[in-house]
Amino acid sequence: MFMTKLFSSPFDRDSTASDVIKDVDLSGKRAVITGATSGIGVETARALAAAGAEVTLAVRRPDAGEQIAADLRTRTGNAAIRVARVDVADLESVHAFTATWTGPLHILVNNAGIMMLPELQRGISGHEQQFATNYLGHFALALGLHSALADAGGARLVSVSSSGHLFSPVVFDDLDYRFRPYDALGAYGQSKTAEVLLAVEADRRWSGDGIRANALHPGAIATNLQRHTGGLKTPEPYRKTIGQGAATSVFLAASPLVEGIGGRYFEDVNEAPQVTARPTELGVPGVAPYALDASNAERLWEVGTAILH
């Protein structure tokens, strides 16, 4: 069986967003980043803006976004940082944003997310809330911005997943826990697998339009994402700073080193190997084969399309 050689970069888990974007010039490029009011979303926006990109903070709370934007303009010296309301849990919000976007889009970073809701909640079209927010909302955003990405003449779609995908494949026969007892970690894992599959299928369908898509695990970073888990539980030696956590997102969004590469899963700024079982040791990289499976990716795209239409 033919195996594609894993992509290797000169960076590692200790590299920061500033490291990976050093000497990269994004002047004339336009980027959209969801969930850019906290955590690695803010740092991703800072790094891209510092490299000269026009950055749109696509956020649920524009008031908070304006405060972040003002700070980033001061820190980067880049005045081209704007704020738009995009709540990926609300399709009307997503559609309103994509309907008013004009011109090319060079970078889309699907960064927003929710994690391990303690009780079963339902969102878009009655679907389990983590699947609805982390996958369906971002899928709708990508579809709505496809023409803008194609117009860029070489665009990047970055899907921020997680090693949490190792806790569950996409369970097509029961996406929404209508038969199974609800499991917070399993639901989170399913949504994060879905985010990888989104990148895999987007790359297959859209690479001919010059759009390359990849997914990533940012690492263990203490952010608002863990608000339902009682905080980050990962031991200190395996944690990352915000700058280190944003490194892989920024690398996939902007580095010339990954030009022409797509449909893959990265962590620690390198492509992760496939694993046959969930690693039992912390810090061991790996992606589940089901998250990269072409048939799963195509099936999920069709399921998502049916839901949204």
pTM, to two decimals? 0.95
Average confidence score pLDDT of the chain:
94
Q: What are residue 34's DSSP bridge partners?
A: 58
Give mean pLDDT, residues 137-154.
Answer: 98
Distance of CA 290 to the CA centre of its chain: 18
Secondary structure string (H, E, C) spanning 8-34: CCCCCCCCCHHHHHCCCCCCCCEEEEE
Residue corresponding to tokens 């369906």: 136
DSSP of 38-77, one letter per residue? SHHHHHHHHHHHHTT-EEEEEES-HHHHHHHHHHHHHHH-
DSSP string, 125-180: GG-BHHIIIIIIIHHHHHHHTHHHHHHTTSEEEEEE--GGGGG----GGGTTSSSS
* pLDDT at position 166 over 50: yes
Angstrom CA distances, 99 to 29, 141, 144, 217, 300, stand at 20, 10, 7, 30, 24
Q: What is the pLDDT of residues 209-268, one digit of tens each?
A: 999 999 999 988 765 554 545 555 667 777 899 999 999 999 999 999 999 999 999 999
163 contacts 267 by C-beta, under 8 angstroms: yes
Residue 3 has a CB neighbour count (10 Å cut-off) of: 6
- SS3 assignment, position 109: strand
Burial class (CB in 10 A: 0-12, 13-18, 19+), 268: buried
pLDDT of residue 282: 80
Residues marked as catalytic: 188
pLDDT band at 281 (very low <50, low <70, confident <90, very high): confident
- As a whole number of angstroms, the distance between CA 225 and CA 231 comes to 8
Q: Which of 177, 228, 225, 245 is nearest to 18 (CA)?
A: 245
Q: Which of 227, 225, 256 is nearest to 240 (CA)?
A: 225
Between residues 145 and 38, the one the model is more confident about:
145
